[in-house]
């Protein structure tokens, strides 16, 4: 679900780079602070980063006969907050642009904005909204990962529509076209990502409760 190399006009590419760069700087600064304050959280960060690496390498088949991959951003965004996953998302996108011809450097800013930045803030926001609504913890985690995944492709569709307005339908017409490409593909994948994230969260909360609660006290168990 990344925008391919060269598929954004130079002006748009530049603007998205400019929009993402401050977030990356902020993310690095906040994350290094978190690690300094909680040195024992490094292994957990490795787990969340590893999760994002695996998930974004899994190109899963979807109902409409095309393939796309989940993002894996939700888990870390819920545990660590957005800064950690902005940095991790950057690492994943850089790796894929440099070695896999997946995404690209001209579109790195835009892809970062949709996946690493919007994706982690959506996941983080949905999780805390879910807790406010007194949803069971696992349900809140599920919706956080689900919405982060889905939100990423919605932002991607907006980015593409802004760059390529439809001659008849204008911006909204173009956005609907891009959404229809991603929507059917991404919906089942977002469900998968939601389920998997709950599964991994269950294990981490069971085996490393102190580390998790220190980073996000809202992850205190209510299930069982």
Partner 1 sequence: MTKQNIALLAAVILLGVIPVLMHWNSKDENLFTGADDKAGKTIESINPDYKVWAEPVFEPAGELASLLFALQAAIGAGLLGYAIGYYRGRHKSVNPGKETGKNA
Q: Is 58 in the site for partner 1 (CB under 8 A)?
A: yes
Q: Are 7 and 184 in contact (CB under 8 A)?
A: no
CB atoms within 10 A of CB 209: 13
Q: Which two tokens stand for residue 176?
A: 């609907």
The CA distance from 109 to 93, in Å, is: 10
Classify 61 as helix, strand or coil.
Answer: strand
DSSP 85-112: HHHHHHHHHHHHHHHS-SS-STTHHHHI
Q: Which of residues 110-149 bind partner 1 (CB under 8 A)?
A: 138
42 vs 132, which CB is nearer to partner 1? 42
Q: Is 202 in the site for partner 1 (CB under 8 A)?
A: yes
Among 29, 37, 40, 46, binds partner 1 (CB under 8 A): 46
Q: Is 220 in the site for partner 1 (CB under 8 A)?
A: no
CA angle 108, 111, 115 (to 5 degrees): 135
Residues contacting partner 1: total by CB under 8 A = 75
Cβ at position 30, least distance to partner 1 in Å: 21
Q: Is 26 in the site for partner 1 (CB under 8 A)?
A: no
Among 150, 198, 215, 219, binds partner 1 (CB under 8 A): 198
Q: Are 119 and 85 in contact (CB under 8 A)?
A: yes
Among 23, 27, 186, 219, binds partner 1 (CB under 8 A): 186
Among 79, 182, 215, 219, binds partner 1 (CB under 8 A): 182
Q: Which of residues 150-179 bind partner 1 (CB under 8 A)?
A: 156, 160, 164-167, 174, 177-178
Beta bridge partner(s), residue 166: 170
Q: Which of residues 60-119 bind partner 1 (CB under 8 A)?
A: 60-63, 65-68, 95-102, 104-106
CB atoms within 10 A of CB 19: 14
Q: Is 192 in the site for partner 1 (CB under 8 A)?
A: yes
Which ranges of 38-61 does DSSP label H, i.e. alpha helix?
Answer: 42-55
22 vs 54, which CB is nearer to partner 1? 54
Cβ at position 192, least distance to partner 1 in Å: 5
Among 43, 132, 171, 220, binds partner 1 (CB under 8 A): 43
Q: Is 14 in the site for partner 1 (CB under 8 A)?
A: no
The burial of 47, by beta-carbon neighbours within 10 Å (0-12 exposed, 13-18 middle, 19 or more buried), is given as middle
Among 19, 129, 135, 191, binds partner 1 (CB under 8 A): 191
């Amino acid at each position: 679900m990344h925008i391919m190399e060269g598929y954004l006009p130079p002006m748009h590419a530049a603007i998205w780079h400019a929009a993402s760069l401050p977030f990356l700087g902020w993310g690095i600064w906040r994350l290094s602070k978190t690690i300094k304050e909680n040195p024992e959280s490094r292994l957990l960060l490795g787990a969340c980063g590893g999760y994002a690496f695996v998930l974004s390498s899994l190109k899963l088949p979807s109902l409409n006969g095309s393939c796309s991959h989940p993002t894996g951003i939700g888990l870390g965004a819920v545990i660590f907050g957005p800064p950690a996953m902005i940095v991790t998302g950057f690492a994943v996108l850089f790796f894929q642009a440099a070695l896999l011809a997946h995404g690209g450097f001209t579109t790195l800013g835009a892809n970062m904005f949709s996946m690493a930045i919007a994706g982690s803030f959506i996941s983080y926001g949905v999780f805390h909204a879910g807790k406010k609504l007194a949803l069971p913890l696992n349900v809140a985690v599920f919706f956080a990962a689900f919405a982060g995944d889905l939100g990423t492709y919605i932002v991607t569709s907006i980015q593409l529509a802004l760059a390529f307005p439809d001659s008849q339908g204008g911006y909204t017409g173009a956005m609907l076209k891009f959404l229809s490409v991603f929507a059917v593909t991404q919906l089942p994948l977002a469900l998968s990502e939601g389920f998997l994230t709950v599964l991994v969260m269950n294990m981490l909360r069971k085996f490393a409760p102190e580390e998790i609660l220190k980073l996000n006290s809202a992850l205190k168990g209510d299930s069982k």
